[in-house]
Structure 1
Amino acid sequence: MERAAIIGVGWYGLKPATPEVSFREMMFEAASRAYADAGVDPRRDVDAFLSAQEDFWEGIAIADEFAPEPIGGVLRPTVTVAGDGLQALANAVMLVKTGYFDIVAVEAHAKPSDIATLSEIYELALDPLHHRPVGPANPLFMMAFDAQAYMLRTGADRSHLALVAAENRTRGLANPRASLAGRVTIDDVLESEPVMDPLTSYDIAGFVDAAVVVVVARESIAVKLTDKPVFIDGIGYATETGTGTLEWHSWGRMPSMRMAATIAYGQAGIGDPLSATDFAEVEDRASVYQLIALEELGLAPEGEAHKLYERGEYELDGAYPVNPSGGSLAMGVALEATGLVRLLEAVLQLRGEAGGNQLKGVERAIVASWRGPPTTTSMVAVLSGPEAGF
């Protein structure tokens, strides 16, 4: 089977609100840019289309009926995936590897600024018998429980969470796509009142409207269309047992990310991810999750991620840069598009197009996303840039 490669990317939005466009128009804008980047005509060259979306986020029943037209898939094979954009990308990779599809387009979008009842939608993911009737003031309270559990297990404290929040938000100032970036210090975070103890507003990523489209091709086609293909060496996804229930959740951990990483690393032939890759774009919708993700991905020893942060290991000039883009804390949570946003940033890095936060000599990357509480599905991909030589 030929390798699958990313030959084009496009995006639109990544702002708290985009009143100038509907979600369909946002999809069209991102798709137009991706096809131009790949140098393909969707009506002539693309064999299948995948869109990651959920009816609940759209406020429209059978929202997938609106998927084909904005991305060029009218009267063409178009499939929707009820999950994160990286899950749709995994499906695209499988299609390409069958040998029946030369080029596949993957789309994911979010328009939370249009959602009047965001908290209520999150509550629907809670257990309907024991937890949903309680009517939690904030259905994302699990973030705080995870933070407390991680701190108790590892000996980390609020200052370590504040370090992640301050670094990511400040780092995003060099990224034109990071609309939530700001010059934030550790003291700013520590002196702020917790929203969900121990997490402050600085520790929790805000929501943004966004659309991202990725064009994937099999290797023999990709090398003809571009001199900067980014290969998908491995990709996996998994869901933690007991989704939506508090009793079965592994507090302060992300077992689904460890499972997804095992799948992706196995496909990519990776034993030690730290030595086999150069940087990572990982989950950080709350500061604590970046620490947890690093351990689950094998990028830090068990319970040691916060100590490595203290030593500067994950800074831009550190031994292993993490979230050079500023992550979701600087760029925002784009619901089902969040994984493709992390992927977009990794692709730009590997192509040498990341601007102010461009790393030197990077050839291979890890991308990891998580759908967040109360659901616990994780996605992990391993990418190789055009200079990797794999």
Structure 2
Amino acid sequence: MSSNGIRDKVAIVGMGCTRFGERWDASADDLLVEAMAECFGANPRLDRDDIDAYWLGTLGSGQSGLTLSKPLALDYKPVTRVENYCASGSEAFRNACYGVASGAYDRVVAIGVEKLKDSGFSGLLRGDPPGDGTAAELSFTAPAAFSMLDPAYCARFGVDLAEMRAAMTHVAWKNHRNGALNPKAQFRAEVAKDKITNAPLVAGRLGIFDCSGVSDGAACAVIVRAEDALNYTDTPMYVKALSLAAGPGRASMDPAYDYTTFPEVVHTARDAYAQAGIINPRTEISFAEVHDCFTPTELILMEDLGFTDPGQVWKDVVAGDFDLDGRLPINPDGGLKSFGHPVGASGLRMLYEAWLQFQGKADGRQLDDPRLALTHNLGGRPGACVSFVSLVGRDRTAGGGR
């Protein structure tokens, strides 16, 4: 059973996104101001004083609404700070959309930020709650946990390890190639396939180029009622579906879980497609931005999202189906692989790419007449995670459509 949804009830009328990377020159405050400046500076029809409420997504770069109200000098506006692992930016967006759809507010902002490079650690800092010791997966590093996807997939579907390695390499190669075309990406250089394949190992068979980077960044969106959208821009982006699921987290104790799927993703994809009226995502969706935290993650996601058949993704990826010029481009902006992953910003960064694509402003990575996009965030570990899927479109229509 799907959610009721808010299909075509709200629209994005402005977006901003900072350059992602090692932003030693900018604090979290600076990044928030930078993202907002692009959003409002590019559109004279948007006035920041007209914003009724804000939702802020961040994992660890601030507590409470003061994280946003202080740098933006907001005078007594409601600011809700949310956190949902790596889907924190998407969670801010989801709640902001519901705030408008409910009728509580007319104009709101969803914004996400993370400042990770100043921590001194190469990775995310977590403060896990106390437990009884049964959550064994929390003792793994993130690369170790996700490295289990590769051999599990090969074992289940009888895929040769070398063939799976070629598919993982192609994912990294594709996303770096796309990111080289994006001025806001952290890594803006193509990487040769032999360099990816032979890179030093991090965990299991995951090499350096199989893992997304650590970066700083912020992104934001202005959301209004769909019927008001053309008052603010000639090119609004309409929200077709929003789906979030938190799994039961039984992976370490469930013998049935085999590390070849993310059940949470399957549920959110099915829910989002029902909300948007999508029958065949392979033909109706123009492109997708997905959570490629590690190369085998993107491979599994292609099957969980219904973009290919179970056991076939390794063939489709190597065949170029998901390249920029393929049948269904995945991560045309370069993905987490090229941008890195400032947790609170990533979900909104994905929507920013849809915003640019629909306006024909994606420069060298511009797709031909895109109409419907999917964004996906994943937070947690295989078998114990949260998943978010959104569908956004260029047109306000009764259905989907490429």
Same fold per superposition (TM over 0.5): yes
Three-state SS of the structure 2 residue aligned to 1:252 is coil
Aligned to 1:282: 290
Q: 1:159 to 1:304 in 2, by over 3 A?
A: same
SS at match of 1:308: helix
| Alignment correspondent of 1:366 | 374
Please say if residues 257 and 378 of structure 1, whose CA atoms lie closer than 8 Å, have aligned partners that are also in contact: yes
Sequence identity percentage: 26
Q: Decide which of 388, 391, 394 is 1:382's aligned counterpart.
A: 391
* Greater RCO, CA 8 A, separation 6+: 2
SS of the residue corresponding to residue 14 of structure 1 reads coil
Match of 1:160 in 2: 167
Is the contact between residue 19 and residue 183 of structure 2 (CA under 8 Å) also seen in structure 1? no
Stretches of structure 1 that go unaligned for 5 or more consecutive residues are none
1:23 aligns with 2:28: yes
Q: Counterpart of 1:86 in 2: which secondary structure?
A: helix
Alignment match, 1:184? 191
2:112 aligned counterpart, secondary structure: strand
**What amino acid does structure 2 have at the position aligned with 1:94?**
Y
1:244-302 Cα offsets, whole Å, 9 max, x none, are x6334651321111111122212111121112211111111111111111111111111
- The answer to whether residue 13 in structure 2 is matched with residue 4 in structure 1 is no
Q: In structure 2, do the counterparts of structure 1 residues 131 and 382 end up closer, same or farther at CA, with 3 Å as the change threshold?
A: closer
Decide whether the 8 Å contact of 2:65 with 2:79 is kept in 1: no
Match in the other structure for 2:3: none
- 8 Å CA contact retained: 2:290, 2:298: yes
1:71, distance to aligned residue in structure 2 (A): 4.2
Structure 1 residues 120 and 111: CA distance shift in structure 2, 3 A: closer
1:211-234 alpha-carbon deviations (Å, 9 max, x no partner) = 101111111221111100010110
- Asked if 1:42 is matched to 2:48, the reply is yes
Corresponding position of 2:67? 66
Contact kept, 8 Å, 1:52 with 1:107, in 2: the verdict is yes
1:120 shift after superposition: 7.7
Please give the alpha-carbon distance, in whole angstroms, between the structure 2 residues aligned to 1:242 and 1:372: 9
Q: Which amino acid aligns with 2:269?
A: A
TM-superposed deviation, 1:190: 1.7
**How much has 1:36 moved relative to structure 2?**
2.5
Cα separation, partners in 2 of 1:105 and 1:146, compared to 1, 3 Å = same
Could you tell me how far 1:386 is from its partner in structure 2?
Answer: 4.3
Secondary structure at the counterpart of residue 157 of structure 1: helix
Distance 2:355 2:220 in 1: 12
Query: Which stretch of structure 1 is more off in the superposition, 179-188 or 102-111?
Result: 179-188
Deviations 1:7-53, CA, capped at 9 Å, x for gaps: 111112301x212221012111111211233532222x111110012
Give SS of 2:241's match: strand
Please name the residue that 2:77 is paired with.
76
Give 1:307 shift: 1.1
Aligned to 1:351: 359
Residues 1:53 and 2:58 are matched in the alignment: yes
Which residue of the partner structure matches residue 129 of structure 1?
133
Contact 1:124 1:132 in 2 (8 A): no
SS at match of 1:271: coil
SS in 2 for 1:288: helix
Is 1:14 the counterpart of 2:20? The answer is yes
Q: CA deviation at 1:153?
A: 2.4
- Which residue is 1:109 aligned to? 113
- Normalised to the residue count of structure 1, the TM-score between the two structures is 0.90
User: Using a 3 Å threshold, how does the CA distance of structure 1 residues 35 and 120 change in structure 2: closer, same or farther?
Assistant: closer
After TM superposition, list the pairs within 5 Å mapping 1:196-275 onto structure 2. Answer: 196-242=203-249, 246-248=252-254, 251-275=259-283
Give the Å deviation of 1:389: 8.4
* Partners of 2:137 and 2:252 within 8 A in 1: no
Question: How big is each residue's C-alpha offset from its partner over 1:88-121, in whole Å with a ceiling of 9 and x where there is no partner?
Answer: 1111111111123211100101111122356683
Instruction: Report how many residues are paired.
Output: 382
- Opposite residue 265 of structure 1, the aligned amino acid is Y
Letter in 1 for 2:12: I
Task: Evaluate the alpha carbon distance shift between residue 128 and residue 175 of structure 1 in structure 2; reply closer, same or farther with a 3 A threshold.
Answer: farther
Distance 1:267 1:389, change over 3 A: closer
CA offset at residue 198 of structure 1?
A: 1.0
Using the size of structure 2 for normalisation, the TM-score is: 0.88
Cα displacement string for residues 127-173 of structure 1 (whole angstroms, at most 9, x for unaligned residues): 6624679965x354101112222232232521110111111112211
Residue type of the alignment partner of 1:365: A
SS at 2:48 equivalent: coil
Give the RMSD, CA atoms, in angstroms.
2.4
Q: 1:150 aligns with which of 144, 149, 153?
A: 153
Q: What is the DSSP-based 3-state SS (H/G/I as helix, E as strand, rest coil) of the residue aligned with 2:213?
A: coil
1:336–1:371 Cα contact (<8 Å) kept: no
Distance 1:96 1:123, change over 3 A: closer
| Structure 2 residues not aligned, in runs of 5+ | 1-5
Q: Separation in 2 of the partners of 1:120 and 1:128?
A: 23
Q: CA deviation at 1:236?
A: 0.7
| Compared CA separation, residues 200 and 26, structure 1 to 2 (3 A) | same
Counterpart-to-counterpart distance in 2, 1:126 and 1:305: 38
